[in-house]
């Protein structure tokens, strides 16, 4: 089978390629050039491309670089900025998977005659008796990446491979060491690839949009503080709100951001910890991976968050027990056992 492996320059994708080579597949490596700006925390640096190239050389496979920077700007960076400007909290890794790694790359692989695309994600593709596919959690629960893959549809799941999904992280590094791969001890990439650790979100967003101050109010509408950039505020936040010290902890429970140019002042509402708890969360873009599930599900609201039991009523998730509010724009991913059955975005 001809397999195009996405080599990020990290240990997981390196071992994914190595395992496919050992299985006898015709393997080619490709590194996606997505972000051309400054990067010191993610997987888009020049050093990462060089690591990917050297791993391909060690494995004796061809290596290419695909420039998808225009698509990345259009489908990931642009929406990321727009979401912050509208008071949402986006997850750019999910949009990168949706539009780049499992759409643009799949289409290019098909045009080039490849049978499958493989990545180093810690996840599995599980095929039911009726042939329908779902994303399954990776064997290493601490490294499981099924949450960021919930957007994959049946077509994509039929054309992708996750060769390290059955391995724990220790097993991945052991394989890399056994093979003498240069990435064997390389640390995992962290955070968003286009946000630098030095400047953070403030510097990145501030170069692209005007950051607007917001009033911080309590539940009665009394102004209790002020923040200089509402675009940096999210649900559950405690710091950076200009609140007086010596009081009980207060958390962001709502972010109201008017349209740019209408003259209204953005408002951040704070409350006590118990004010963060809600019974439901409405979803935008709810999609089921293989048909709706009528019974209870486990709903997970962050990449490594603890799932909680709920039922789905229309486009609303109703928790069995009150749960912390979910910031608008964050994914709510639905599981039955270890299988992704659906997901959407908090409205």
* 190 within 8 A of 40, measured Cβ to Cβ: no
Distance CA 156, CA 25 (A): 20
Single out the residue of 343, 246, 231, 252 nearest to residue 289, CA to CA. Answer: 343
Distance CA 314, CA 326 (A): 18
CA dist 276 → 181, 254, 272, 293 (Å): 47, 9, 7, 27
Query: So which residues are the catalytic ones?
Result: 96, 193
Helices marked H in the chain: 11-22, 46-59, 69-72, 78-85, 92-96, 105-111, 154-157, 169-179, 200-206
DSSP state of 99: I
Which residues are CB-contacts of 90 (< 8 A; sequence separation ≥ 6)?
79, 80, 83, 84, 329
Helices marked H in 122-251: 154-157, 169-179, 200-206
Reduced to 3 states (helix: H, G, I; strand: E, B; else coil), residue 42 is: coil
CA dist 187 → 11, 43, 173, 237 (Å): 8, 11, 10, 28
Which residues are CB-contacts of 147 (< 8 A; sequence separation ≥ 6)?
300, 302, 303, 304, 331, 333
Q: What share of the chain is helix, strand, coil (3-state, %, to 5)?
A: 30, 30, 45
- What are the E-state strand segments in 211-257? 214-217, 223-227, 251-256
């Amino acid at each position: 089978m001809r397999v195009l492996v996405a080599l990020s320059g990290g240990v997981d994708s390196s071992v994914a390629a190595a395992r496919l080579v050992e299985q006898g597949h015709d393997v080619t490596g490709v590194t996606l050039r997505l972000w051309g700006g400054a990067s010191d925390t993610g997987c888009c640096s020049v050093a990462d491309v060089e690591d990917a190239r050297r791993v391909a050389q060690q494995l004796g496979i061809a290596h290419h670089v695909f420039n998808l920077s225009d698509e990345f700007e259009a489908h990931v960076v642009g929406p990321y900025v727009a979401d912050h400007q509208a008071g949402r909290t986006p997850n750019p890794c999910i949009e990168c998977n949706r539009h780049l790694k499992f759409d643009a790359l799949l289409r290019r692989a098909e045009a080039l005659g490849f049978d499958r695309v493989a990545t180093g994600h810690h996840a599995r593709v599980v095929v039911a008796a009726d042939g329908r596919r779902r994303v399954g959690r990776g064997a290493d629960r601490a490294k499981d990446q099924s949450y960021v893959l919930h957007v994959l549809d049946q077509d994509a799941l039929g054309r992708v491979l996750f060769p390290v999904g059955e391995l724990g992280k220790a097993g991945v590094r052991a394989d890399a060491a056994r093979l003498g791969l240069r990435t064997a001890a390389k640390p995992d990439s962290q955070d968003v690839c286009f946000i630098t650790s030095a400047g953070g979100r403030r510097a990145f967003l501030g170069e692209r949009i005007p950051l607007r101050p917001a009033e911080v109010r309590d539940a009665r509408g009394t102004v209790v503080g002020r923040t200089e950039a509402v675009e940096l505020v999210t649900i559950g936040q405690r710091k950076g709100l200009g609140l007086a010290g010596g009081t009980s902890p207060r958390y962001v429970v709502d972010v109201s951001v008017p349209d740019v140019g209408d003259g209204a002042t953005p408002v951040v509402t704070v409350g006590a910890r118990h004010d963060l708890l809600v019974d439901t969360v409405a979803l935008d873009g709810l999609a089921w991976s293989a048909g709706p599930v009528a019974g209870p599900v486990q709903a997970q609201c962050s990449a490594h968050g603890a799932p909680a039991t709920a039922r789905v009523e229309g486009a609303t998730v109703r928790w069995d027990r009150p749960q912390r509010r979910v910031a608008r724009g964050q994914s709510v991913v639905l599981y039955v056992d270890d299988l992704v059955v659906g997901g959407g975005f908090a409205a």
